[in-house]
Chain A
Amino acid sequence: EAGVTQFPSHSVIEKGQTVTLRCDPISGHDNLYWYRRVMGKEIKFLLHFVKESKQDESGMPNNRFLAERTGGTYSTLKVQPAELEDSGVYFCASSHFSTENTEAFFGQGTRLTVV
């Protein structure tokens, strides 16, 4: 069974450009999460999808970030326009259930560098 897959693994863009990150969750997992780790800081929650609906987007930093999950399968996270402080590693995770004792499986992350 394939794990959580993220594309691309690395992205270097200039300030002001747009970048779209993609996450393919484990097949059958209704719950999908985005997290971000800015260098030297904690991994922080961004948002949680249940199927195609946003269950919790309290961690989204501002309106330059747009997450979608059309059809309840893969998800995209778009940053437009990108700023220097958006640099970091973006992790996606998925789980079958959303209860607190459920394990979330993480992807390898996308390292975003904004120059």
Chain B
Amino acid sequence: AQSVTQPDIHITVSEGASLELRCNYSYGATPYLFWYVQSPGQGLQLLLKYFSGDTLVQGIKGFEAEFKRSQSSFNLRKPSVHWSDAAEYFCAVHSGAGSYQLTFGKGTKLSVIP
């Protein structure tokens, strides 16, 4: 069965600093990968997704992620964090092949220091 690991439960960065949130997945075939964000009081919002093609994908709010098959990773990055980015971030994998479930990581909570 597929699994997703987000090794960092909580990360604190200063506003304006760069950010990288780690995500590793375990899945035999080519995965369909997603990053979602949940701001306080809000639902999960899709930041970006990877299905195939260019391994560097751009998302909303200035985020990007890079798929590295050799490392089974799909890390999320942002060059300069804004205070409004404080939220919880979830990496997820969709197995495809007739199964429409998303398997999520435990999430990484991001705090931003002014």
Contacts and interface: CB of A to CB of B under 8 A. Distances in A.
Interface stretch (A14-22, A61-69, A70-78, A99-107): A99-107
Interface string A67-101: 00000000000000000000000010100001011
B60 to A, nearest CB: 12
Interface stretch (B13-21, B35-43, B70-78, B79-87): B35-43
Contact of B100 (A43, A55, A91): A55
Contact of A56 (B36, B43, B99, B104): B99
Nearest to B95: A100
Contacts of B49: 101, 103
Interface string B79-114: 000000000001010111101111111110000000
Contacts of A107: 43
A7 B84 CA distance: 26
B45 interface: yes
B63 interface: no
B41 A108 contact: yes
B43 A100 contact: no
Q: Among B32, B97, B104, which residue has the most Cβ atoms of chain A within 10 A?
A: B104
A45 B103 contact: yes
A45 B106 contact: no
Interface of B: 4, 32, 36, 41-46, 49, 51, 90, 92, 94-97, 99-107
Given A42-B105, A43-B90, A103-B49, 18 more contacts: A31-B100, A33-B100, A42-B104, A43-B92, A45-B103, A48-B100, A56-B101, A91-B43, A98-B100, A100-B32, A100-B51, A100-B96, A100-B100, A101-B32, A101-B49, A104-B102, A106-B36, A108-B42
Interface of A: 3-4, 31, 33, 35, 40-45, 48, 55-56, 58-59, 91, 93, 98, 100-101, 103-109
22 contacts: A4-B43, A31-B100, A33-B100, A41-B106, A42-B106, A43-B44, A43-B92, A43-B104, A43-B107, A44-B104, A48-B100, A48-B101, A59-B101, A91-B44, A98-B100, A100-B32, A100-B95, A103-B49, A104-B102, A105-B43, A106-B44, A108-B42
